[in-house]
Amino acid sequence: MNKLIKRFSGNPILTKEDVPYPVATVHNAAVIKHNHEYVMVFRSHRLNGRSILGIARSSDGYKFKVDPKPFMIPSDEYDEYGVEDPRITYLGGEYLITYNAYSQYGVRVGLACTKDFSQVERVGYITQPDMRNVVIFPEKFGDYYVRLDRPHTELTRWSIWVSYSKDLVHWGQSRIVIRAELYRWDAMKLGPGAPPVKTEKGWLNIYHGVYETMSGAVYRLGAALHDLHDPGKIIGVGDHWILEPEEPWERVGYVPNVVFSCAAVPEEDDSLKIYWGGADTVMCVGTASIHELVEHCLKESRNPL
C-alpha cells in the first residue's frame, strides 16, 4: 500500500517540555493560518488530569512556540472537568472554535470565536450530551451553516452525522452520513477529524477510525469526500486507512496506539499539512497530496452506509 501521508522527520513537533506551564501532555490540536502565521490551539492535561487548551504559533507550520499562558480553561459547571479536542474554522470574518466540554452532566460541544487569537469569546454550548467531534464547514450552503458531528451512544456503532443551522447555535435536520462497518479498520467507531477542505471534486474530510483489538483500541486516520454543493451527500470513502500508529511516540504514551487529527491546512502547492496527536501525548505533522487523497476516496471507495 502506498503511503499517502509523509511524516515530518522532526516529529514530534510539540511536547510537554515545550510548554512554559505545568502540563502532562500536548495533543489533539487545531491548526489554522492567521496573518501568514500558523496558529495551533492544543489540548493538554494539567497535572490534576483535567484538560485545558493552550496556544502556539509558527512561521513555517513545523517549529512552534507556546504562549506563556493557557488559551482556554474550564469556565463553568458544564466544562468543569475539562475542555478538549478543538477544531477551528474561518467563516464570516472570524475564527470559530468548537471543543468538547466535559462535566458531571456528560460531554457537550462548546462554540467559541476569536478574530485575533488573543481574545476569545465563548458563544455557548451547541449540543446536548453526549456529543463530540463537531467540525464546521468553512462555507455556508444557502441559508445554512453545516457541520459534521458524532453522537456518543452505546446503542449503535459511533458514526459521522451531518447537521444544519441558521445561527450556529441551534442545530437540526441531523442524519447519518458515514457509518462504522463491522470487520473493517474503523469498525468500533469513527468521527470527524479536521474541518473539511474544499477541493475541485468535493470537500475532503480527514476523519478518525477506531478498531478494537485483543490488546486495546487502535486509532487511525481515513479520508472521505463530500459533494461540493450538498455536504450531506458522500461521493466516496477511502476503503483503507491513510495513517496508523507506527512511530514510538504514537504507539506508547498516555493512550497507546493513537493518531488523532483535528487539523488539516491546505497549501498553495496542492499539499496538505495534516496534524495529529500521538498516543494522546505529543503533536506530530505530515504532508500529503490533496489530489492523491481525493483519488483515494474516488477510486478505492466503499459504501459509506
pLDDT along the chain (305 residues), means of 10: 88 98 98 97 97 98 98 97 98 97 96 97 96 97 97 83 98 95 92 98 98 96 98 97 98 98 97 98 98 96 91
DSSP state of 20: S
How far is 87 from 239, CA to CA, in rounded Å?
25
- What is the reported pLDDT for 157? 80
- What is the reported pLDDT for 63? 98
- What is the reported pLDDT for 182? 87
Residue pair 71/41 in contact by the 8 Å Cβ criterion: yes
pTM: 0.97
Secondary structure element (H or E) that encloses residue 121, with its range: strand 121-125
Measure CA 96 to chain center.
13
How far is 55 from 240, CA to CA, in rounded Å?
33
| 3-state SS assignment for residue 41 | strand
Residue 67 makes CB contacts below 8 A (sequence gap 6+) with 54, 55, 56, 57
Domain 6-299 fold: Tachylectin-2; Chain A (2.115.10)
- What is the reported pLDDT for 94? 97
Secondary structure element (H or E) that encloses residue 94, with its range: strand 94-103
CB atoms within 10 A of CB 291: 14
- What is the reported pLDDT for 2? 61
- What is the reported pLDDT for 35? 94
The total number of residues shown for the chain amounts to 305
- What is the reported pLDDT for 254? 97
